[in-house]
């Protein structure tokens, strides 16, 4: 009994606290989904009104299953990956990324280890553009979590962004569960009002969301009505189950796949020269090209 009381006191202490490491902490406890979302909103969104509390002193908390979704914003999910120690800048592909900024979407899709994330991160480091980097994992398959992180990421670039979006996420949880695309309209309208310069939104490791998630419908809605001020870069091991055909038809450069990511002879020569201080012969280049082609056919 004494341990239980200590647990309750600890829960009350950390609920609604922001720590100093950049992480907003929310205790899940036994809160139901609606109370937990309201509590999340009180931490995620700028507070505009005082005195509103989701519970009153002495009220009992309902014993419902705890919400298993993330109860905080992990800022490292919104950080650009660290550069590789021996990074070869690939101007051939970074130029394609730059050219395609005139289109709504760039899709970078290839198998693991092909350099997808490294390429896009290098592009952002070498071009003076505003961007939001969002590294996805399986916990982001909930539209509430996905839209929350996306709005929070934009807020880091555009101060004051998110008032309307966070309010909607807090107050319209039932509608969001039934029709998550409606939340996209709120997001787009706020982007039109708040974002003035082109903003690149990178969705890294999109394949982690899986096939059965309403986030795909959210992305379809966003891409269908994407404002000119936004450009989306999707990085994935597989082609996402989205309505991408109309976007692909706009420009051949909108898709960078594993064949594009293979090194050319010039890039291979530069890589060995820069990293290994070796000058490859024509025969060695041909052997490397053949091995790369076999690997591509296998995958």
User: Tens digit of pLDDT for each residue in 168-187?
Assistant: 998 888 888 889 999 999 99
Overall size of the chain counted in residues? 299
Q: Which two tokens stand for residue 11?
A: 């829960």
Q: What is the pLDDT at residue 41?
A: 38
Q: Which range in 98-112, 191-205, 265-279 is most confidently predicted, on average pLDDT?
A: 191-205
Nearest CA to 223 out of 104, 118, 83, 111 is that of 104
When pLDDT is averaged across residues 29-35 and rounded to a whole number, the result is 37
Q: Which two tokens stand for residue 126?
A: 């070498």
If pLDDT is split at 50, 70 and 90, which confidence band does 251 have?
low
Q: What is the pLDDT at residue 22?
A: 40
If pLDDT is split at 50, 70 and 90, which confidence band does 273 have?
confident
If pLDDT is split at 50, 70 and 90, which confidence band does 142 have?
very high
Does the pLDDT at position 266 exceed 70? yes
Does the pLDDT at position 33 exceed 50? no
Cα(145)–Cα(153) distance, rounded to whole angstroms?
12
Q: What is the pLDDT at residue 245?
A: 58
Where along the chain do its domains lie? Answer: 8-72, 76-259, 265-298
Least confident of 21-35, 133-147, 240-254: 21-35
Q: What is the pLDDT at residue 31?
A: 36
* Average pLDDT along the chain: 77
Does the pLDDT at position 162 exceed 50? yes
Nearest CA to 234 out of 105, 75, 144, 72 is that of 105
Q: Determine contact, residues 148/73, Cβ cutoff 8 Å.
A: yes
When pLDDT is averaged across residues 46-67 and rounded to a whole number, the result is 39
Does the pLDDT at position 298 exceed 50? yes
Q: What is the pLDDT at residue 270?
A: 84
Nearest CA to 148 out of 193, 186, 175 is that of 186
Q: Is the dihedral of CA 254, 211, 44, 180 positive or negative?
A: positive
Could you tell me the pTM of the whole model?
0.71
Q: Evaluate whether the domain defined by 76-259 bears CATH number 2.40.110.10.
A: no
Q: Which two tokens stand for residue 52?
A: 């509103």
Phi, then psi, of 108 in degrees rounded to 5 = -110, 110
Q: What is the pLDDT at residue 253?
A: 65
When pLDDT is averaged across residues 86-99 and rounded to a whole number, the result is 87
Q: What is the pLDDT at residue 71?
A: 52
When pLDDT is averaged across residues 246-267 and rounded to a whole number, the result is 78
């Amino acid at each position: 009994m004494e341990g239980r009381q200590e647990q309750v006191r600890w829960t009350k202490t950390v609920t609604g606290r922001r720590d100093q490491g950049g992480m907003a902490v929310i205790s899940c406890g036994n809160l139901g989904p609606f109370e937990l979302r309201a509590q999340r909103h009180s931490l995620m969104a700028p507070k505009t009104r005082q005195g509103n509390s989701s519970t009153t002193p002495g009220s009992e908390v309902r014993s419902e299953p705890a919400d298993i979704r993330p109860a905080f914003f992990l800022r490292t999910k919104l950080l650009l990956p660290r550069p590789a120690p021996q990074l070869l800048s690939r101007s051939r592909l970074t130029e394609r990324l730059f050219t395609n900024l005139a289109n709504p979407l760039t899709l970078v899709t290839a198998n693991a280890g092909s350099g997808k994330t490294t390429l896009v991160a290098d592009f952002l480091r070498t071009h003076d553009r505003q961007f939001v980097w969002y590294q996805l994992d399986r916990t982001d398959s909930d539209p509430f979590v996905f839209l929350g992180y996306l709005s929070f990421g934009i807020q880091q670039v555009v101060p004051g962004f998110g008032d309307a979006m966070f309010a909607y996420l807090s107050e319209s949880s039932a509608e969001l569960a039934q029709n998550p695309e409606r939340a996209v309209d709120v997001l787009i309208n706020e982007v039109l009002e708040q974002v003035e310069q082109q903003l690149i939104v990178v969705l890294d490791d999109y394949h982690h969301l899986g096939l059965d998630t309403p986030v795909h419908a959210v992305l379809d809605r966003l891409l269908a009505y994407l404002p000119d001020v936004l450009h989306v870069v999707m990085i994935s091991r597989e082609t996402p189950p989205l309505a991408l055909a109309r976007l692909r038809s706009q420009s051949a450069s909108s898709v960078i796949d594993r064949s594009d990511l293979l090194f050319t002879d010039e890039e291979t020569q530069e890589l060995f020269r820069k990293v290994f201080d070796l000058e490859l012969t024509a025969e060695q280049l041909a052997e490397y090209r053949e091995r790369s082609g076999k690997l591509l056919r296998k995958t």
